[in-house]
Amino acid sequence: MNKNRIYIKLSRKYSTATHRLYRYIGCILWIIFFLISSNALADDKKHDLAGASLEELLNFELITASKIARQVSDAPSAVSIVTADDIKAYGYRTLGEILNSMRGLNITYDRAYDFLGGRGFSSPGEYSGRIMLLIDGMQANDNVYNQAYFDHSGLIDTELIERVEYVPGPGSVAYGNNAFFGIVNIITKKGADFNGAQAAVSAGSFLTGKTRLTFGKQFSNDVDLLLSASGLTSRGQNFYFPEFDNGDPLNNNGIARRQDGQNNQRFFAKLQGRNWLFEAGHSRRHKDIPTAPYGADFNTHYFYTDTNKFVAGQYHIDLSDHLKLSLLTDFSDYRYHGNSLYSGEYWADESIGRRWGTEAKFSGNWFDFHKIIFGVAFRDDFQRKIITPAASSDHGRQTVSVYAQNEFTLRNNLWLNLGVRNDYFTDDGNAVSPRFALIYEPLPEHFVRLSYSRAHRTPTAFEKFYTDGEFLLPNPNLKIEHVNAAELVLERRWSNQSRILASFYHQTTVKPIQSTPYSSDFVQYLNTNGARARGLEIEAEHHWRNNMRIRASYAFQDSEDGAGNWAINSPRHLGKFNFTAPVYGDLFRTGVEVQVVSRRKTHLGNTIGGFAIANATLSTNRLIPNLDISFTIRNLFNTNYVHVAPDYNTPLSTIAQDSRNYWLQLTYEFK
> pLDDT tens, 562-590?
899 999 999 999 999 999 999 988 899 99
Mean pLDDT, rounded, for 485-514 = 92
Q: Are 405 and 173 in contact (CB under 8 A)?
A: yes
Which of 302, 333, 398 shows the shortest CA–CA distance to 144? 333
The CA distance from 46 to 41, in Å, is: 10
C-alpha distances (whole Å) from 386 to each of 283, 352, 439, 513 are: 20, 7, 46, 19
pLDDT of 270 > 80? The answer is yes
pLDDT at res. 96: 96
Q: How far apart are the first and last CA of the chain?
A: 53
Phi and psi (nearest 5°) for 200?
-135, 135
Mean pLDDT, rounded, for 358-383 = 94
pLDDT at res. 108: 95
The shares of helix, strand and coil residues in the chain, as percent rounded to the nearest 5, are 15, 50, 35
pLDDT of 160 > 90? The answer is yes
354 Ramachandran zone, left/alpha/beta (phi>0; psi -120 to 50): beta
Residue partners of 335: CB distance under 8 A and separation at least 6:
305, 306, 307, 350, 351, 352, 353
Q: Residue 94 corresponds to which amino acid?
A: T
Q: What is the DSSP letter of 452?
A: E
Residue partners of 664: CB distance under 8 A and separation at least 6:
202, 203, 204, 629, 630, 631, 632
The CA distance from 125 to 415, in Å, is: 40
588-608 pLDDT, tens digit each: 999 999 999 999 999 988 999
Which of 360, 45, 310 shows the shortest CA–CA distance to 154? 310
The CA distance from 262 to 304, in Å, is: 10
In order, the DSSP letters of 336-353 are EEEEEEETTEEEEEEEEE
Strands (E), 495-572: 498-510, 513-515, 525-527, 532-543, 549-560
pLDDT of 125 > 80? The answer is no
Q: Which residue has the higher pLDDT, 247 or 537?
A: 537
| Start-end of H helices in 426-582 | 461-465
Dmax (CA) for the chain in angstroms is 78
Q: What is the DSSP letter of 121?
A: B
Which of 465, 555, 440, 567 shows the shortest CA–CA distance to 509? 567
Give the model's confidence band at 247: pLDDT under 50 very low, under 70 low, under 90 confident, else very high.
confident
What count of other Cβ atoms lies within 10 Å of the Cβ of residue 125?
22
Phi and psi (nearest 5°) for 279?
-135, 150
Characterize the bridge pairing of strands 182-188 and 131-135: parallel
The CA distance from 73 to 65, in Å, is: 13
pLDDT at res. 26: 54
pLDDT of 664 > 80? The answer is yes
pLDDT of 84 > 90? The answer is yes
The CA distance from 58 to 23, in Å, is: 34
87-99 pLDDT, tens digit each: 999 999 999 999 9
CA-based angle 665:260:610, to the nearest 5?
85
291-325 pLDDT, tens digit each: 999 999 999 999 999 999 999 999 999 999 999 99
pLDDT of 9 > 60? The answer is no
| Start-end of H helices in 339-392 | none
Which of 225, 311, 213 shows the shortest CA–CA distance to 35? 225
Provide the b/e sequence for 261-296 (b: ≥16 CB within 10 Å). Answer: bbbbbbbbbbbbebbebebbbbbbbbbbbbbbbbeb
Which of 669, 666, 661 shows the shortest CA–CA distance to 633? 661
Q: Residue 163 corresponds to which amino acid?
A: R
Q: Are 652 and 642 in contact (CB under 8 A)?
A: no
pLDDT of 530 > 80? The answer is yes
Residue partners of 493: CB distance under 8 A and separation at least 6:
445, 447, 499
pTM of the model: 0.88
Q: What is the DSSP letter of 523?
A: B
The CA distance from 444 to 506, in Å, is: 28
What is the percent of the chain where pLDDT is above 90? Answer: 74
Residue 123 three-state SS? coil
Residue partners of 624: CB distance under 8 A and separation at least 6:
none
C-alpha distances (whole Å) from 455 to each of 310, 423, 482, 487, 602 are: 26, 11, 6, 14, 27
pLDDT at res. 583: 93
The sign of the torsion formed by the CA atoms of 638, 304, 665, 238 equals positive
What is the percent of the chain where pLDDT is above 70? Answer: 88
Give the model's confidence band at 128: pLDDT under 50 very low, under 70 low, under 90 confident, else very high.
low
Residue 258 three-state SS? coil
Give the model's confidence band at 511: pLDDT under 50 very low, under 70 low, under 90 confident, else very high.
very high
Mean pLDDT, rounded, for 382-389 = 96
The CA distance from 499 to 167, in Å, is: 17
Q: Are 540 and 499 in contact (CB under 8 A)?
A: yes
* Mean pLDDT, the chain, whole residue set: 88
pLDDT of 72 > 70? The answer is no
Residue 25 three-state SS? helix
Mean pLDDT, rounded, for 22-44 = 45
The CA distance from 178 to 455, in Å, is: 8
Q: Is the peptide bond before 651 cis (omega within 30 degrees of 0)?
A: yes
| Start-end of H helices in 154-276 | 172-175
Mean pLDDT, rounded, for 41-57 = 35
| Start-end of H helices in 318-427 | none
pLDDT at res. 455: 96
Radius of gyration for the chain, computed over Cα atoms and rounded to the nearest angstrom: 25
Query: Which range has the worst mean pLDDT, 21-25, 133-137, 201-205, 524-528?
Result: 21-25
Residue partners of 634: CB distance under 8 A and separation at least 6:
91, 613, 615, 658, 660, 661, 662, 663
pLDDT at res. 37: 41
